[in-house]
């Protein structure tokens, strides 16, 4: 799969993360799980792990299948498979013959797979934000106070005050998530008293990831005027150019969203008394 380019601008934070990826080894976890976290964070991490694992699993299985293909071909051609005890065959290492039919097939759909995984990573993050905000507004319903009014007809359409409150909470969460990520951080800073969220070094990368996701979903993967307007001086794409999501982009989307979630979970969870659960796994 394509992994030598990126659709993200090269700011200090993303550059550091790329270097970290290059210097990491296969046994080092990309994301270190916390000792404890809220339920919505554990759900976020579970989905993120599956997203980041998807292209890896595809490549590993295709590599295994290609090694089996070449081995079977040798046997059918009557070629002896001389055992070499010093270098036993690793079925998950790239075949010495090069890419076979299965790896080539995976590569032929890698662009589409990368796009789907990227969208899932970003949607996982925005879903986390919605869940966290919903929990906070349930605990602190006074945050719902505004000049907005509702009609008697609307209020009386619910059987209980709890049902009405849940609907108002859902409407407020929807309104907040449609603000856009920078404005949402500003709202959380001012309304929730969490000024620390304004200084997250990965916030720009997350904002860019959300705009890339919108281009993929709503503009057939082509750079939109809004993307260029927001990040034009930092990126190479032109309006209407095709966005190519690389393996590096999946990694940056994953670690940048996790950096926000990790900080947000501690700040919001402790301030509003959200329930924390212990880590039951050693790594992600």
Full domain range(s) for residue 224: 12-26+110-275
* 213 within domain boundaries: yes
Rounded Cα gap, residues 117 and 88, in angstroms: 34
* 143 within domain boundaries: yes
Helix (H, G, I), strand (E, B) or coil at 220: coil
Beta strand 36-38 pairing with 276-278: antiparallel
* 191 within domain boundaries: yes
Burial call 79-110: b when 16+ CB within 10 Å, e when fewer: eeeeeeeeeeeeeeeebeeeebebbeebeeeb
Rounded Cα gap, residues 245 and 121, in angstroms: 12
* 258 within domain boundaries: yes
* 68 within domain boundaries: no
State the total domains in the chain: 1
pLDDT, one tens digit for every residue, the chain (284 residues):
444 567 887 778 888 888 887 777 666 677 888 999 999 999 999 999 999 999 999 999 999 999 999 889 888 888 776 655 455 678 888 888 888 999 999 999 999 999 999 999 999 999 999 999 989 888 888 777 766 667 767 777 777 777 767 777 778 878 888 888 989 999 888 888 888 888 888 999 999 999 999 999 999 999 888 888 887 667 777 889 999 999 999 999 999 999 999 999 999 999 999 999 998 765 44
CA neighbor of 214 nearest in space, from 231, 195, 201: 231
* 32 within domain boundaries: no
* 73 within domain boundaries: no
* 138 within domain boundaries: yes
């Amino acid at each position: 799969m394509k992994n030598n380019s990126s659709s993200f601008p090269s700011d200090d934070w993303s550059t550091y993360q790329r270097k970290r990826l290059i210097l990491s080894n296969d046994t080092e976890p990309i994301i270190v799980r916390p000792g404890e976290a809220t339920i919505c964070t554990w759900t976020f991490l579970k989905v993120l792990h599956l997203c980041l694992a998807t292209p890896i699993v595809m490549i590993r299985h295709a590599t295994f299948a290609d090694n089996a293909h070449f081995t079977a071909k040798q046997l059918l051609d009557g070629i002896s498979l001389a055992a070499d005890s010093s270098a036993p065959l690793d079925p998950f290492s790239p075949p010495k013959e090069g890419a076979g039919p299965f790896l080539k097939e995976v590569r032929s759909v890698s662009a589409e797979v990368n796009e789907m995984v990227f969208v899932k990573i970003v949607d996982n993050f925005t879903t986390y934000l919605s869940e966290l905000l919903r929990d906070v507004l349930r605990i602190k319903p006074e945050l719902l106070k505004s000049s907005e009014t509702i009609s008697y007809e609307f209020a009386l359409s619910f059987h209980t005050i709890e049902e009405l409150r849940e609907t108002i909470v859902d409407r407020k969460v929807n309104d907040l998530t449609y603000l856009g990520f920078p404005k949402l951080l500003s709202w959380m800073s001012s309304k929730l008293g969490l000024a620390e969220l304004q200084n997250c070094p990965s916030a720009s990368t997350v904002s860019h990831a959300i705009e890339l996701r919108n281009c993929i979903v709503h503009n057939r993967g082509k750079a939109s005027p809004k993307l260029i307007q927001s990040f034009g001086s930092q990126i190479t794409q032109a309006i209407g150019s095709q966005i190519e999501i690389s393996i590096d982009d999946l990694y940056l989307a994953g670690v940048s969203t996790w950096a926000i979630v990790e900080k947000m979970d501690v700040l919001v969870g402790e301030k509003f008394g959200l329930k924390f659960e212990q880590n039951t796994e050693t790594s992600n």
